[in-house]
Amino acid sequence: MEQLKTLGRELAMGSHGQSKEFLDLIKSIGEARSKAEEDRIVLREIETLKRRINDADTPKRKMKEYIIRLLYVEMLGHDASFGYIHAVKMTHDDALLLKRTGYLAVTLFLSDDHDLIILIVNTIQKDLASDNYLVVCAALNAVCRLINEETIPAVLPRVVDLLNHSKDAVRKKAVMALHRFYQKSPSSVSHLLSNFRKRLCDNDPGVMGASLCPLFNLVSDDANSYKDLVVSFVNILKQVAEHRLPKTYDYHQMPAPFIQIKMLKILALLGSGDKQASGHMYTVLGDIIRKSDSMTNIGNAVLYECICCVASIYPNSKLLEAAADVIAKFLKSDSHNLKYMGIDALGRLIKLSPHIAEQHQLAVIDCLEDPDDSLKRKTFELLYKMTKSSNVEVIVDRMIDYMISISDDHYKTYIASRCVELAEQFAPSNHWFIQTMNKVFEHAGDLVNIKVADNLMRLIAEGFGEDDDAADSQLRSSAVESYLRIIGEPKLPSVFLQLICWVLGEYGTADGKYSASYISGKLCDIAEAYSNDENVKAYAISALMKIYAFEVAARRKVDILPECQSLIEDLLASNSTDLQQRAYELQALIGLGAEAVETIMPRDASCEDIEVDKNLSFLNEYVQQSLERGARSYIPEDERTGMGNMNNFRSQDHNESLQHGLRFEAYEVPKAPMQPKAAPVSFASSSDIVPVPEALSSRETHHISSVGSISEAGSSELKLRLDGVQKKWGRPTYSSSASSASDSYSTSQKPTNGATQVDGATAVNSKVRDSYDSRKTQVDITPEKQKLAASLFGGSTKPEKRSSTSHKVPKSNAADGAQGSKAAVVPNEVAVEKTIHQPPPPDLLDLGESAVTTAPSSVDPFQQLEGLYDPSISSGIADNVGATTNATDIMGLYSESTGSGSYSIPVSGNNANLLSELSNAPVKATSGETITTPLPQSIKGPNAKDSLDKDALVRQMGVNPSSQNPNLFSDLLG
Amino acid sequence: MIKAVLVMNTQGKPRLAKFYEFQPVEQQQEAIRNVFSVLCTRPEHVSNFVDAESFFGPDSRLVYKHFATLYFVFIFDSSENELAMLDLIQVFVETLDKCFRNVCELDIVFNYSKMHTILDEIILGGQVLETSSTEVMRAIEEIARLDAASNAINLVPKSVSGWRSR
């Protein structure tokens, strides 16, 4: 008997077409000790398959096996494209088994724009019209995967016909296929969308459930056109929740939970911000929350979805309370899954009722310290949502600690940007902001947006405002000090080093604490330590230049350290022209007199406006001279012919080739000879042009080169027509020169708005004091966690009193913080964005006090009802136990026989019974299986209300209603 | 919608891989490798959810379940409910179990195409189609019956000969 069973098992495997060869293949792959060995085996297999598949004599049944082996090979990551065409051929076969295999293979092999698809479309069309519904199903399967925008019209009519097929399995799949079309190309099925509404009242609840998927998509794209369905959805949901569906739709004693979940998702979308629509939902939501069984996984899934729905629709205080209770249950649970969902749900609800987090502060902190990464990240998400200026320090510190501890770059980037965002938005003080940014840069510098560095430089440069110079310089010297400390660390990110160099250059010697030679020595160290990073070197040399310039301007003697000297000499001979230029400038600058240096490089002037003479009026004289000498006058860009847009070389090229490939006019003869060299040279050094506003910018050298190129352009008549060519090496000429010069200064160019800055600064100051004071009173609780809780939630474990205060504090603080950051922390546009991001808390906090009182403990009829479930659950478990013992028996036999069999099983440890793993979950009640066929339709009244009435009547009369009531949904929509 | 269903063993060997949006083979392999590298570092008794945005793009979540030597992994977006997906894995495994009677890794390896048939009954085009394992089993049996009918002539001699050889 035992032998027979194992025999049967082997036969069953064999009957699926797998031969000994396939078993051997799997066995040898399983035994392969290295990836290389596995690859060798698979490549050999591919060779065999190639040979056999291309053999015309291969019988079809063998062919099927080969195709499956091909699929297997491709799953292991090898190319099986040589067999695609054979898979396509197999779809043409008449035998269902072969056809199915063919379809399976092509859906796994081909993308929807593969060339071979065109060979399948015809077959699909034919199969969709087949009499055998299994063939139709197979074709629909393929349709979902293989049909793309272009081929939709070819199959669309057939699929639409199938929506009315007699088999519900087909109708269901047809709905899904149509949904797929909508996803791929909404316009192609836009005229058919009403079909989804129609299917909502299908006689078969399964089809109704399937139609929810497309409706969910449609509603999320455009909720307004589906508001009329709210009542229907609510009705259906109610009936589902009341166990009116056939028993076969139950899952772990829950009535059709997947349908409920989809429905709740749709209702959440429809009720969002719509008071009237939400009004319809309150009752049913309350019912479901009350009734759902929180002992099973799926019951909790429904509960969670209810919370999401409650959080999304127009708020209702009772429901919010109920949701808060459910969250409390989730968070108190031992299951990590439930905690995860609880934290997520808390994050959703916290926008509506900020106080609910306070009850759960310890739970939240536990989650934060949990070894489970997913849970931790979810908790950070929650903390991010509840950050305000009173707890920003704790939260950001935690985030940074976590950021340092992980190696996943993707998440590191994410959390770093979160830190920056929070710090910019809520920073209690500039000093803290700088320290925080330093940490972020130090540990994730290369992952942070470069803009953040600009912001930080700007903050250090602008400081608090104009009236408080002492605070500004204190801020700067603390920044300088922290940077001098940090540069000792190995391997700092490039962006951070650039920032450090800039700050050291600007403010390193400003407070007189550090000597110029000390700072310049440090800068040299940086340039040497990161000698293959040109950007860092460029920043370092510019910083050196500033340091020396300040020394010269202060009439002190500049003594250049030997290592600085050698660095400069290195850079003078550098391959990079940028570095070279900076080095030459530095050299030239040191040679100048104090007065000149002072004008070129004034101290602490990074915030000053640089006036740019866009008309280049200082060149007028030169232009005049050139004209007198016979140069041609400048032709404005738009009047020129044969010239595209100068600013964009590529598009210009493109235009030119499009408009005219060749010029047929002869080149013009130059009017008068001129000496080509003299003019450009006179403009090459910056000291010659002395208009004051421009001189400021000689720190960087862009404008010089652009000036140079202009003069070149003016005098270029003689040599060549350089109109198009010159662009290759020079900067953009003509009109763009001025703007390019100003671009490079945009970081320091914004006019300072005195009024807002003063406001912001004082606001920040006062706020800082506020929050510090308020926190000090709470810190004296001893346990670590409570302290953390207090700083996170702004209250101790007793929430009642504090909840009201902490309501007000964050509100005002949030406003202050936004204002403060606007003026002092971030560039204006960003700050405005931030303030928009943070909508004022809605005015529904009236329930603040009432929410503290816990759930009503009145006797719930449904809880009593729950007792009725128990026997079935326990019987389910008993069943399960029986099954497992039984199962292990069989497995034992199985392994015995394999020992004696001709081949050994390659996969180790796989004999453990999967079912035994299932034993935690209650197994589906077996009773459900007896009634599986849906009853015939009809009998019930013509519309839902009638049928509901009838149903109620039947109940009143004491007759247990049969579980089937398939017609309930029909005609809901007329 | 569901983006992918993966089954792999505890050594990282894929046993089933189905992507509901086409992905080239290399990307599939990389996804499988990434998923495995995350899963094998997860301690026991933690949540079944993993953030999958780093290897499946924005708005992707991952739910997995560990049975004996196998990981069952579903990747999906925010239009699905995590806990429900966990139960869907349960449905899938229950169905496999009914189908193969005490399913083990070997069954899954040898019945590659049947696995796909079952999965296609549960998920179609990335949407949940059927959540009752009884219903799925019925559909599968119906297919098998028709298969057998169309295949009968070929099958009989083989099984008989197989029978005799024992």
Residues A598 and A562 in one domain: yes
Is A141 an interface residue toward B (CB < 8 Å)? yes
- CB < 8 Å to A891, chain B: 102, 104
Distance from CA of A197 to the nearest CA of B (A): 18
Distance from CA of A332 to the nearest CA of B (A): 15
Q: Is A656 a domain residue?
A: no
Residues A575 and A624 in one domain: no
Q: Which amino acid is located at A319 in the chain?
A: L
DSSP A619: G
- CB < 8 Å to B7, chain A: none
Residues A624 and A580 in one domain: no
Task: Give chain A's domain count.
Answer: 4
Residues A573 and A707 in one domain: no
Write phi, then psi, for A311 (nearest 5 degrees).
-70, -25
Separation CA A206–CA B127 (nearest Å): 13
In A, minimum Cα distance to B7 occurs at A75
- CB < 8 Å to B140, chain A: none
Sign of CA dihedral B49, B50, B51, B53: negative
pLDDT in tens, A634-666: 777 777 765 545 554 444 445 444 444 555 666
Q: Is A178 a domain residue?
A: yes
Are A914 and B102 inside 8 Å of each other by CB? yes
Q: Give yes or no for residue A519 having a pLDDT over 80.
A: yes
Q: Give yes or no for residue A473 having a pLDDT over 50.
A: yes
Is A171 an interface residue toward B (CB < 8 Å)? no
Residues A69 and A130 in one domain: yes
Is A909 an interface residue toward B (CB < 8 Å)? yes
Count of beta carbons in the 10 Å neighbourhood of residue A660: 11
Q: What pLDDT, on a 0 to 100 scale, did the predictor assign at position A673?
A: 53
Q: Give yes or no for residue A682 having a pLDDT over 60.
A: no
Q: What pLDDT, on a 0 to 100 scale, did the predictor assign at position A590?
A: 81
> In the numeric block, which tokens belong to residue A386?
């509840």
> In the numeric block, which tokens belong to residue A822?
């606007």
pLDDT in tens, A829-842: 444 444 444 444 44
Q: Is A382 a domain residue?
A: no
Distance from CA of A98 to the nearest CA of B (A): 9
Is A339 an interface residue toward B (CB < 8 Å)? yes
Q: Is A875 a domain residue?
A: no
Q: Is B123 left (phi over 0), alpha (psi -120 to 50) or beta?
A: beta
Q: Give yes or no for residue A237 having a pLDDT over 50.
A: yes
Q: What pLDDT, on a 0 to 100 scale, did the predictor assign at position A370?
A: 87
Q: Give yes or no for residue A601 having a pLDDT over 90.
A: no
Residues A712 and A773 in one domain: no
Separation CA A947–CA A860 (nearest Å): 27
Mean pLDDT of A242-267: 90
Mean pLDDT of A177-204: 90
Separation CA A867–CA A940 (nearest Å): 32
Domain ranges, ordered by start, for chain B: 2-152
In B, minimum Cα distance to A107 occurs at B22
Higher pLDDT, A10 or A371: A371
- CB < 8 Å to A144, chain B: 124-125
Higher pLDDT, A287 or A904: A287
Distance from CA of A528 to the nearest CA of B (A): 36
Residue A591's Cβ-count burial label (10 Å; 0-12, 13-18, 19+) is exposed
Residues A825 and A693 in one domain: no
Q: What pLDDT, on a 0 to 100 scale, did the predictor assign at position A971?
A: 44
The complex's ipTM works out to 0.89
> In the numeric block, which tokens belong to residue A608?
């000053």
Distance from CA of A128 to the nearest CA of B (A): 16
Is A716 an interface residue toward B (CB < 8 Å)? no
DSSP A180: H
pLDDT in tens, A523-548: 888 888 888 888 888 898 888 888 88
Is A261 an interface residue toward B (CB < 8 Å)? yes
Fold of B2-152: Beta-Lactamase (3.30.450)
Are B83 and A14 inside 8 Å of each other by CB? no
> In the numeric block, which tokens belong to residue A598?
């002072």
Residues A150 and A71 in one domain: yes
DSSP A199: H
Number of inter-chain CB pairs under 8 A, A vs B? 239
User: Is this prediction's pTM over 0.80?
Assistant: no
Higher pLDDT, A704 or A438: A438
Are A96 and B53 inside 8 Å of each other by CB? no
Residues A180 and A253 in one domain: yes
pLDDT in tens, A295-352: 889 999 999 999 999 999 999 999 999 999 999 999 999 899 999 999 999 999 988 8
Question: How would residue A698 be classed by pLDDT, with cut points 50, 70 and 90?
Answer: very low
Q: Is A405 a domain residue?
A: no
- CB < 8 Å to B133, chain A: 924
Q: Least CB-CB distance to B83: which of A16, A72, A341? A: A341
Q: What pLDDT, on a 0 to 100 scale, did the predictor assign at position A161?
A: 92
- CB < 8 Å to A914, chain B: 67-68, 70, 93, 96-97, 102-104
Q: Least CB-CB distance to B102: which of A206, A341, A890? A: A890
> In the numeric block, which tokens belong to residue A82?
């040589």
pLDDT in tens, A887-940: 444 444 444 444 444 444 444 444 444 444 444 444 444 444 443 334 444 444
Question: How would residue A155 be classed by pLDDT, with cut points 50, 70 and 90?
Answer: very high
Nearest partner of A340 among B125, B145, B51, judged by Cα: B51
Higher pLDDT, A418 or A559: A418
Q: Least CB-CB distance to A297: which of B9, B83, B162? A: B83
pLDDT in tens, B113-122: 889 999 999 9
Q: What pLDDT, on a 0 to 100 scale, did the predictor assign at position A311?
A: 93
Q: Give yes or no for residue A436 having a pLDDT over 80.
A: yes
Residues A158 and A290 in one domain: yes
Q: Give yes or no for residue A864 having a pLDDT over 50.
A: no
Q: Give yes or no for residue A870 having a pLDDT over 60.
A: no
**Do B51 and A411 meet the contact criterion of CB atoms below 8 Å apart?**
yes
Which residue range(s) make up the domain with A557?
A: 467-607
Residues A707 and A820 in one domain: no
Separation CA A362–CA A355 (nearest Å): 14
Count of beta carbons in the 10 Å neighbourhood of residue A674: 16
pLDDT in tens, A718-751: 444 444 444 444 444 444 444 444 444 443 444 4
Q: Mean pLDDT lowest for which of A21-25, A317-321, A593-597, A745-749?
A: A745-749
- CB < 8 Å to B151, chain A: 95, 97
Q: What is the DSSP string of A906-973?
A: -STTTTS-HHHHHTTSPPPPGGGGT--SPPPS-SS-SSHHHHHHHHHHHHHTTPPPPS--GGGGTTTT
Residues A335 and A252 in one domain: yes
Q: Is A921 a domain residue?
A: no
Determine which of B76, B105, B138 to mutate to test the interface with A (most A C-beta atoms within 10 Å).
B105
Is A375 an interface residue toward B (CB < 8 Å)? yes
> In the numeric block, which tokens belong to residue A32?
């392969």
